[in-house]
Amino acid sequence: MSAHTMDISLTVNGEAVNERVEPRMTLVDFLRENLSLTGSHVGCEHGVCGACTVRVDGVVVRGCLMLAAQCEGAKVETIEGVSDNGEIADLQIAFEQRNALQCGFCTPAMLLTAQELLKAGGVPSRDEIREHISGNYCRCTGYHAIIDAMESVAQARAGGKK
């Protein structure tokens, strides 16, 4: 093994993954290039746009600001994983019903970010929702529809628990 490749073992969407990577490879490139999980998008590559958002060990992170090499032993979840297991099915339906997406480039990351806030429970205020998604750019919707969708899901989930 040269100084510039290394072997990593992690789980991605519940499946064990063993791959050889260059240390310089970011997590989002690893997911897209090595594992063909192209739902995580590459936008600005310096942490501003949020399109690369994925979950590592249960919390959302910027996939462009973490290296694949740092994910040894980690539990990584992507939009493909949370779509397939139904975790965010209600959010996905609400996004569609309320036109909370147009081109869809920001949507996978927006959904994961939304889910982190809603998973904490309760019904956040619209200001809290705005603040929580402030790190995810959407250039189509103007955000209002996204906030509507998140708010309605939070209300539905809270109502469902009664």
Partner 1 sequence: MKPAPFAYAKPRTLKEAIALLGKHKDNAKLLAGGQSLIATLNMRLSAPTLLIDLNGLKGLDRIARKGAKVEIGALARHVDVERSDVIAQYAPLIARAMPHIGHPAIRNRGTFGGSIAFADPAAELPACLLALDGEIEITGPKGKRTVKAETFFKGLFETAIGPRDVLTAIRVPAAAKDNRYGFSELSRRHGDYAIVGLAASARTTSKGLADVRLAFFGVDATPLRARKAETALTGGTIDDKRLNAAVAALDLDPSDDVQATAAVKKHLAGVLLKRVARQLLETRT
Which positions lie near partner 1, rule CB under 8 A?
Answer: 3-4, 6, 22-24, 26, 29, 45-47, 50, 53, 59-62, 64-67, 69-70, 113, 116-117, 130-132, 134-136
| 65 three-state secondary structure | coil
Residue number, 16 or 59, with CB nearest to partner 1: 59
Count of residues for the chain? 162
Q: How far is the CB of 95 from partner 1 (least distance, A)?
A: 19
How distant, in Å, are the alpha carbons of 63, 94, 148, 152 from that of 57?
Answer: 13, 26, 28, 27
Residue number, 37 or 60, with CB nearest to partner 1: 60
> At 109, phi and psi to the nearest 5?
-70, -40
Going through the chain in order, the beta strands assigned E by DSSP cover 6-12, 15-21, 54-56, 59-61, 75-77
Helix axes 144-160, 89-97, angle to 10 degrees: 140
Q: How far is the CB of 131 from partner 1 (least distance, A)?
A: 6
Residue number, 41 or 62, with CB nearest to partner 1: 62
Q: How far is the CB of 162 from partner 1 (least distance, A)?
A: 27
Q: How far is the CB of 63 from partner 1 (least distance, A)?
A: 9
Residue number, 29 or 80, with CB nearest to partner 1: 29
